[in-house]
Amino acid sequence: MTAGARTGMREGFVSCEVCGLLSRPAGAEEPGHCPRCGAELEFRRRDAIQRTWALVIAAAICYLPANILPVMRSTTLTGVEPDTIMSGVVILYETGTWYLAVILLIASVMIPLAKLASLAYLLVTVQRGSVRNNRERTRLYRILEIIGRWSMVDVFVATFVVALIQMKPLMSIAPEPGVLFFSAVVILTIFAAESFDPRLIWDSSQGKQETNE
């Protein structure tokens, strides 16, 4: 079933990931370099699945402390108060700015989680040689690449706030370890998305289906 997919690799060609030129590989083991732009050619990204899995798992591990540990600590006259991401969402919601709460919830909690879940889904389907919804999965991958970086907004805000609000006796804000884990999650998912090779999605699919599409 899975053997029927018609891909460039199977036809004996390799495409350049940089300039897109289709060329004949120099050898079966080492495809060599692109004759046009000189970039190193690969049939498929090396160890894409393992590498992506590693990064996804690392990101998932970091996701827990990122949400449990406080991201920053605000010191005011009334005392010291640590804030986690979720407590920030709750405070924004309770103070009436629900739209900001929604933005924060989506950008900082849901998108990283959605990215992790999507990557895991892609990896599992590729490993199982699934042939269904190839187009949708490719689209999902594209979306992942685009929105992933927006999660960094949270980190930016935190760093801005820490730098700006330093009115020492009245109020000051200091970063807490949570923000480190949070940026680790964002960066690791970006790398994970990068290391995944969407061409793998098509490797196991029926050549016929694809051409017919």
* Span from 35-43, 63-71, 107-115, 121-129 in contact with other proteins (CB under 8 A): 63-71
C-beta neighbour count of 64 within 10 angstroms = 11
Shortest CB 209 distance to other proteins, Å: 32
Would you count residue 155 as binding other proteins (CB under 8 A)? no
Would you count residue 188 as binding other proteins (CB under 8 A)? yes
37 versus 80: smaller Cβ distance to other proteins? 80
Matching residue, tokens 């290391």: 195
Would you count residue 58 as binding other proteins (CB under 8 A)? yes
Shortest CB 155 distance to other proteins, Å: 17
Q: DSSP alpha helices (H): ranges in 69-203? A: 85-94, 98-104, 111-128, 134-147, 152-164, 177-195, 199-203
**Number of residues near other proteins (by CB under 8 A):** 22
1 CB contacts (<8 Å, ≥6 apart)?
A: 131, 206
Q: How far apart are CA 11 and CA 156, in angstroms?
A: 47
61 CB contacts (<8 Å, ≥6 apart)?
A: none
Element (H, E) at 81: strand 79-83
Report 80-119 residues binding other proteins (CB under 8 A): 80
Residue from 78, 96, 164, 211 that binds other proteins (CB under 8 A)?
Answer: 78
In angstroms, the first-to-last Cα distance of the chain is: 18
183 versus 205: smaller Cβ distance to other proteins? 183
5 phi/psi in degrees, rounded to 5: -65, 140
3-state SS assignment for residue 103? helix
Would you count residue 79 as binding other proteins (CB under 8 A)? yes
Shortest CB 5 distance to other proteins, Å: 25
Chain residues binding other proteins by CB under 8 A are 47, 50-51, 54-55, 57-59, 61-62, 64-65, 69, 77-80, 177, 181, 184, 188, 195
